[in-house]
Amino acid sequence: MKLNNILKYGIILGIPALSMVSCVSSGDNPGIEYAPNMYISQAYEPFSQEKKFDNNPNGMTMRMPVKGTVARGQASFIYPNPNTGDGYAISADYKPWIAATEDNVAEGERLYNIYCWSCHGKKGKNDGPIFKSKKIPAPSWPDYQSDYIKELPVGKAYHTVTYGKGLMGSHAFMLNPEERWKVIHYVKSLAFGDAFTYAEPNANLISLDEAMGTNNNTSLDSQATGTVELETL
- By beta-carbon distance, which residue lies closest to ligand HEC? 166
Alpha carbons 155 and 96: distance in angstroms, whole number: 7
Question: CB of 126: closest distance to ligand HEC in angstroms?
Answer: 8
Alpha carbons 185 and 96: distance in angstroms, whole number: 10
Name the residue nearer to ligand HEC (CB basis): 99 or 190.
Answer: 190
Question: CB of 117: closest distance to ligand HEC in angstroms?
Answer: 8
Chain residues in the site for ligand HEC (CB under 6 A): 115-116, 118-120, 130, 136, 139, 152, 156-157, 160-161, 165-168, 171, 183, 187
Question: CB of 216: closest distance to ligand HEC in angstroms?
Answer: 17
Name the residue nearer to ligand HEC (CB basis): 99 or 223.
Answer: 99
Name the residue nearer to ligand HEC (CB basis): 80 or 179.
Answer: 179
* Contacts of residue 208, Cβ cutoff 8 Å, sequence gap at least 6: 75, 76, 97
DSSP 143: -
Name the residue nearer to ligand HEC (CB basis): 96 or 139.
Answer: 139
Alpha carbons 150 and 189: distance in angstroms, whole number: 9
Separation in Å, CA 220 to CA 74, 98, 168, 172: 12, 19, 30, 20
Name the residue nearer to ligand HEC (CB basis): 63 or 135.
Answer: 135
Alpha carbons 180 and 170: distance in angstroms, whole number: 11
Question: CB of 197: closest distance to ligand HEC in angstroms?
Answer: 19
